[in-house]
Amino acid sequence: MTVARVRAAALAILLVALVAVPWALPALGATFWVNIVAEILIWSLLAASANLLFGFVGLLSFGQALFFGFGMYGVALSIEAWGFGFWPALATGVLAASAMALVTGVMAVRLTWHYFAIITVVFSLIFYFAAMSMKWLTGGDDGISFSPPSVFALGGHTLSLGDATVQYYVILAIVSACFAATALVVSSPLGLRFKAVRENDRRAALVGINVYATRLIAFVLAGALAGASGALFAFFGRYASASYMFYHVSGEAVVWAIIGGSGTILGPLFGTGLLIVFRELVSTVWEHYLLAVGAITILVVMFAPRGLAGAWNGLVAGLLDRGAEEPRRAAIPEES
């Protein structure tokens, strides 16, 4: 068996498990956890956004919450102010976030390392305070509430987010599509340019890669992912709030991505899942559970620097290597 086959089998199992959630969890008496899994899926897109920049292009952004916020407000304002339906509102959220990423990225991707991290925080703070003060438009900390339009309507049949199962599957479908699109981009020639820029931007320029344009494309794509996450979260919570644009939200996404495995496709999903489940289980009994999250992060960085997904990949490769070694050893005749 090859590593690729094991990975494909694991992915199939994961997908089946995620599809079974709305039936399996209520059957186990854990209906509450269906919404937690939906929330994990949504936040994992924000972590995937931080991961696309950090894990594949080498840019550590603490500003992804800005695009998350634009995704939220794109949905809320387009429904409340313009009466958009579900899909146009979703597209508006993603486009608003992407446009904002383009505007800020034009300046931000000229910088790298800590300078880049700092400018992303600065942009995030500027727009956070702007959104907080423009209450007439954003509702500030209170936000904007709205009633979500139906997802699909045909001849009297409607699919509405009011049905928790429909809502879960809509979220699962959109999140899966985003992860699939990320995987496609990363394995394309553009993804190869991302990795080359991450490894050494000077060498990348010498083989003909426009480093600035490559970073800007990655920044806008990451903005679109964060926007999709924010748009879904707005539908999920039925509101948009400026408080989600604060940079600590971006920081959480970075931590989820690192723990899950930066530079891997599904790592952000695992990292987000682990830490949100941990939060749900521990925060009710221990107020300072974030101290434990910090300890987990330190341990992962020290002992599994490629995160959960990296450790899993290493384990599978190691086991398969050992499996292939045994028959080879058996085939070698013993010396007499």
Partner 1 sequence: MLSVSGLTAEIGKVPVLRGVDLTVREADTVALLGRNGVGKTSTLRAILGLLRRTGGSVVYDGTPLDRVPTHRLAAMGVGYVPQGRGIFPLLTVEENLLLGAPAKADPQAREEIYRRFPRIRERLRQRAGTLSGGEQQMLAIARCLVMRPKLIILDEPTEGIMPKLVAQIRHEIAGIARQGISVLLVEQNLRTALRLAKRIYLMERGQIVHEGTPESLQADPDIVHRYLGVSLKDLKGARQ
**For residues 31 and 210, which CB has a smaller minimum distance to partner 1 in the complex?**
210
**Using CB under 8 A, which of 202, 288, 328, 329 touches partner 1?**
202
Look at residues 38, 57, 62 and name the one whose alpha carbon lies nearest to residue 253. 62
Using the rule CB under 8 A, is 253 a contact of partner 1? Answer: no
Using the rule CB under 8 A, is 154 a contact of partner 1? Answer: no
Q: What sign results for the dihedral spanned by CA atoms 329, 330, 331, 336?
A: positive
Using the rule CB under 8 A, is 309 a contact of partner 1? Answer: no
Write down the least CB distance from residue 105 to partner 1, Å.
Answer: 18
Size of the residue set binding partner 1 (CB under 8 A) = 17
**For residues 6 and 290, which CB has a smaller minimum distance to partner 1 in the complex?**
6
Contacts of 60 (CB under 8 A, 6+ apart): 53, 54, 113, 116, 117, 254
Cα distance between residue 75 and residue 228, in whole Å:
10
Using the rule CB under 8 A, is 183 a contact of partner 1? Answer: no
Cα distance between residue 133 and residue 247, in whole Å:
17
**Using CB under 8 A, which of 31, 133, 165, 200 touches partner 1?**
200
Write down the least CB distance from residue 40 to partner 1, Å.
Answer: 30
| Token reading at 184 | 């496609």
Using the rule CB under 8 A, is 185 a contact of partner 1? Answer: no
Using the rule CB under 8 A, is 156 a contact of partner 1? Answer: no
Cα distance between residue 26 and residue 28, in whole Å:
5
Q: Is 195 exposed, middle or buried (0-12, 13-18, 19+ CB in 10 A)?
A: middle
Write down the least CB distance from residue 329 to partner 1, Å.
Answer: 23
Cα distance between residue 71 and residue 234, in whole Å:
8
Write down the least CB distance from residue 110 to partner 1, Å.
Answer: 13
**For residues 145 and 188, which CB has a smaller minimum distance to partner 1 in the complex?**
188
Using the rule CB under 8 A, is 7 a contact of partner 1? Answer: no
**For residues 192 and 301, which CB has a smaller minimum distance to partner 1 in the complex?**
192
**Using CB under 8 A, which of 131, 193, 250, 270 touches partner 1?**
193
> Rounded to the nearest 5°, which phi and psi values hold at 27?
-65, -30
Looking at residue 65, its amino acid is A
Q: Let me know: does 3 contact 317? Beta carbons within 8 Å.
A: yes
Binding mask 203-232 for partner 1 (x = CB under 8 A): xxxxxxxxx---------------------
Using the rule CB under 8 A, is 159 a contact of partner 1? Answer: no
Write down the least CB distance from residue 303 to partner 1, Å.
Answer: 21
Write down the least CB distance from residue 196 to partner 1, Å.
Answer: 5
Cα distance between residue 128 and residue 139, in whole Å:
12
Contacts of 79 (CB under 8 A, 6+ apart): 89, 146, 147, 148, 149
Cα distance between residue 257 and residue 30, in whole Å:
27
Cα distance between residue 184 and residue 38, in whole Å:
23
Using the rule CB under 8 A, is 192 a contact of partner 1? Answer: yes
Write down the least CB distance from residue 103 to partner 1, Å.
Answer: 23
Write down the least CB distance from residue 275 to partner 1, Å.
Answer: 27
Q: Which residues lie near partner 1 (CB under 8 A)?
A: 189, 192-193, 195-196, 199-200, 202-211
